[in-house]
Structure 1
């Protein structure tokens, strides 16, 4: 069985699939799925159909890495999913082939770099949030019920007004109002 199955994608109808298709045929792909779709689009029906045809031992071949994944983390996840199914991955332009030990090494390095990048972003975010808290700023949405509105709502309630009316006047939901007037 062990088939090479190709996937070619262009982003717009102005672009041609010829160069990718020719390269995939030259690489020995027995069948090629093609589509016109933005790389950022999650709905790629031809790619989904191709995935349903892949069997253990097969290899998915693309002309370039960016033809398959929307981003490095997405690409890494896709290749991990293929690997879990026993399917290899090969990119012609970057000469990456996960069916070889060298290709798996390169892909592992990509994975480590992506994880490092995610950790750096997380650390910078935490430092920024701590600095903002030290200056008295907190994140999130401003509260609907300010101390002033709570006082006003209590006066209206004590004056005999229905809580439904109070909520409408203050522009808040009844649940929000009830929570603050307990």
Structure 2
């Protein structure tokens, strides 16, 4: 059985083009969503997945109607494959119930993994180059060493509340406590 799924991103867009194409393709039931693909919860897609049984094929007008990204698409195809459900895209002429359709998705998956690895390698190379130039990553310290020592001193004097110290120094409570812990740790190392 062919099960159709149609989605448009906004209320202004119209589902008629997709409905007509899916009906012409022979879909008996068509499930619909009228919301952004970026939304994780798509009730129409959920209903289509619940309705479809092993041996059925979910049909979409275009692959971008089904998933927000290549990674998401590959995860969706993996889920459908696990359930024994095929996927057919009318515009891209891809059908995972055929051998050639499965091959195309495996190629897509390999390309997506290759792209993720390239991004990871570039990021690591950039971080190493920055470290070699003496740069440290992360957020800059809120206070220099002298102001950190002053904040700890104010805390130890117990003349001001934690809130008052934080307001004076322009820091949060966790930051203040981090400076206090660091100061106590250095005291234990250098008695």
Unaligned 5+ runs, structure 2: 185-191
Q: TM-score, normalised by structure 1?
A: 0.88
SS in 1 for 2:39: coil
Report the Cα distance in structure 1 between the residues aligned to 2:107 and 2:31, rounded to whole angstroms.
28
Shift of residue 73 of structure 1? 0.8
Report the Cα distance in structure 2 between the residues aligned to 1:13 and 1:168, rounded to whole angstroms.
47
**Mean alpha-carbon deviation: is it higher for 138-147 or for 91-100?**
138-147
Give per-residue Cα distances to partners, 1:109-148, cap 9 Å, x unaligned: 1111111111111111111111111222222222234312
Equivalences, count: 180
* Alignment correspondent of 2:3: 5
Report the Cα distance in structure 2 between the residues aligned to 1:106 and 1:159, rounded to whole angstroms.
69
What is the correspondence of 1:121-136 to structure 2 with a 5 Å cutoff? 121-136=119-134
Report the Cα distance in structure 2 between the residues aligned to 1:38 and 1:76, rounded to whole angstroms.
19
* Alignment correspondent of 1:48: 46
**Native 8 Å contact 1:145 1:180 kept in 2:** no
Report the Cα distance in structure 2 between the residues aligned to 1:57 and 1:69, rounded to whole angstroms.
21
- Work out which of the residue numbers 103, 106, 125 in structure 1 matches 2:104: 106
Unaligned 5+ runs, structure 1: none
Shift in CA distance, 11/167, structure 1 to aligned 2, threshold 3 Å: closer
Shift of residue 171 of structure 1? 3.0
